[in-house]
Chain A
């Protein structure tokens, strides 16, 4: 039990460290406002967690800190010029309605970050999908002068992007404040996979599903372009790492998790292809929650059946040994 708690805290620490690197990148592109936005989200999440945990009659401990990493994920998925009050409301919603109402970290149902993002998308769609260009630093409490559509939008509409490979790898294009730098994302994914902080099955499934769909039905002129642009746009890689492969939500057994990730990737690819819906992977991850829960129920049943069979076998072996004696 103690080891499990220690392990959970290490997972949180690893995830926070990787998220801080994106935050640094976001600071480089969009200025201080994005850091303040992330800070406000984290503070709102911690406050909401503290109040709801106290209302549930528990003490706030270090185990409750993952709410801050969820808040950081949320902050990195929105534009740097997002209204801070709206972002804070969404984070509070995710902590209270999407997590603690169901019993909190011990009975997780939804990914809080995905719930917060979809909540913002449905309530403040224009704000969530309108961005400033990189290197345009908006004042902390100021308003953006010129807003543009994201690179994902351009790709979903036209099937191509007008950026150099270096710009694409470094996330130097209009989009969510911290989820565009593919180079950092790849490094983080490898680190988190080796540290076993994310579900390897779900992550690999999501990547494999996306690649498979790019090969079957490329949404660009060549398969390679399709793979490249698909991973860079629509937060595909970011969501694969931090939402789809979230250990708290994904099925426990890696082979089940693989199919869970695979189906999310396939569904979101088809949605992007047929409806040009931006960041569909986040929405689909939320919609696939019942699937994850169903698979977890199945896993429990299998474990129970295996345990019963093992118990029956050991009882039989005991009886046989007694008979021999």
Chain B
């Protein structure tokens, strides 16, 4: 059996959580329209995913697949409670604005499915580094998308007025998120194939 080479920053560039694997895209599409929302979602996603995957890594591997999935989902739902309480302190108002996407972050596919398929097949140290890189990958896309959408749709940067005269308000809406994320995905793939000389999806 050939051992797969470990790439510590795979989750940031080569296998980005959002742009490559299309995981956790709904919060990016719907709520990633302002930097304030993005900051709250980044905090929640990072905290929930990191803690949930770390705690889940102690679940016995011998359990049936379905049982493990259920346990992972329950762990992340439990982790969500203190994270939400803290978010209400740090980001007052944002939690209610983000609405259902806040709890939905807790049952994201990176925690529920990728843990089993990816992270738990690695040694603990590698798993931690890889997990952090996947989280940073999500955070970076969320920030960039929110920055672009806030600037173009509302003419502001972190709620401060910017010098933009023609605003495209549609980009702040879910359909704008779909279209912009699709464009970003394409540009990301083009750049990835340019820098790494590979084009996984095209093949």
A complexed with B: yes
Residues of A within 8 A of B (CB): 83, 85-86, 89, 97, 101, 119, 122-124
A123 touches B179 (CB 8 A): no
Closest 5 CB pairs of A and B: A123-B170, A122-B170, A85-B166, A123-B168, A123-B169
Give 1 or 0 for each of B154-197: 1 = CB within 8 Å of chain A CB: 00000000000110111101010001001100100000000000
A89 touches B168 (CB 8 A): yes
Given the complex of chains A and B, what is the CA–CA distance between A126 and B169 in angstroms?
12
A86 touches B166 (CB 8 A): yes
Total interface residues on B, CB under 8 Å, equals 12
- Closest chain-B Cβ to A129's Cβ sits at a distance in Å of 14
Interface centre among B165, B170, B186 (most CB of A within 10 A): B170
Residues of B within 8 A of A (CB): 165-166, 168-171, 173, 175, 179, 182-183, 186
B170 touches A97 (CB 8 A): no
Q: Which residue of B lies closest to A96 (CB)?
A: B183
Residues of chain B within 8 A of A83, CB atoms compared: 166
Residues of chain A within 8 A of B165, CB atoms compared: 85
Q: Which residue of A lies closest to B183 (CB)?
A: A97
Given the complex of chains A and B, what is the CA–CA distance between A97 and B182 in angstroms?
9
A101 touches B186 (CB 8 A): yes
- Closest chain-A Cβ to B174's Cβ sits at a distance in Å of 11
Residues of chain B within 8 A of A85, CB atoms compared: 165-166
Residues of chain B within 8 A of A101, CB atoms compared: 182-183, 186
Interface centre among A85, A122, A123, A124 (most CB of B within 10 A): A123
Q: Could you pull out 16 A-B pairs where Cβ atoms are within 8 angstroms?
A: A83-B166, A86-B166, A89-B168, A97-B179, A97-B182, A101-B182, A101-B183, A119-B170, A122-B169, A122-B170, A122-B173, A122-B175, A123-B168, A123-B169, A123-B171, A124-B169
- Closest chain-B Cβ to A121's Cβ sits at a distance in Å of 9
Given the complex of chains A and B, what is the CA–CA distance between A97 and B170 in angstroms?
14
- Closest chain-B Cβ to A118's Cβ sits at a distance in Å of 9
Residues of chain A within 8 A of B183, CB atoms compared: 97, 101
Interface centre among A89, A101, A122 (most CB of B within 10 A): A122
Q: Which residue of B lies closest to A101 (CB)?
A: B186
Contact for B166 among A89, A97, A119, A122, CB less than 8 A: A89
Given the complex of chains A and B, what is the CA–CA distance between A83 and B168 in angstroms?
12
Given contacts A122-B173, A123-B171, 13 further A-B contacts (CB under 8 A): A83-B166, A85-B166, A86-B166, A89-B166, A89-B168, A97-B182, A97-B183, A101-B182, A101-B183, A122-B169, A122-B170, A122-B175, A124-B169
Residues of chain A within 8 A of B186, CB atoms compared: 101
Given the complex of chains A and B, what is the CA–CA distance between A86 and B167 in angstroms?
9
- Closest chain-A Cβ to B17's Cβ sits at a distance in Å of 23
Q: Which residue of B lies closest to A85 (CB)?
A: B166
Given the complex of chains A and B, what is the CA–CA distance between A75 and B186 in angstroms?
29
Residues of chain B within 8 A of A122, CB atoms compared: 169-170, 173, 175
Given the complex of chains A and B, what is the CA–CA distance between A89 and B168 in angstroms?
9
Residues of chain A within 8 A of B168, CB atoms compared: 89, 123
Q: Which residue of A lies closest to B173 (CB)?
A: A122
- Closest chain-B Cβ to A203's Cβ sits at a distance in Å of 29
Given the complex of chains A and B, what is the CA–CA distance between A83 and B169 in angstroms?
14
Residues of chain B within 8 A of A123, CB atoms compared: 168-171
- Closest chain-B Cβ to A110's Cβ sits at a distance in Å of 12
Q: Which residue of B lies closest to A86 (CB)?
A: B166
Residues of chain A within 8 A of B166, CB atoms compared: 83, 85-86, 89
Given the complex of chains A and B, what is the CA–CA distance between A119 and B169 in angstroms?
10
Residues of chain A within 8 A of B171, CB atoms compared: 123
Residues of chain B within 8 A of A119, CB atoms compared: 170
Residues of chain A within 8 A of B175, CB atoms compared: 122
Given the complex of chains A and B, what is the CA–CA distance between A32 and B203 in angstroms?
51
Given the complex of chains A and B, what is the CA–CA distance between A101 and B182 in angstroms?
10
Given the complex of chains A and B, what is the CA–CA distance between A30 and B43 in angstroms?
54
Given the complex of chains A and B, what is the CA–CA distance between A122 and B166 in angstroms?
14
Q: Which residue of A lies closest to B170 (CB)?
A: A123
Given the complex of chains A and B, what is the CA–CA distance between A83 and B186 in angstroms?
30
Given the complex of chains A and B, what is the CA–CA distance between A323 and B101 in angstroms?
72
Given the complex of chains A and B, what is the CA–CA distance between A124 and B173 in angstroms?
13
Residues of chain A within 8 A of B182, CB atoms compared: 97, 101
- Closest chain-A Cβ to B190's Cβ sits at a distance in Å of 9
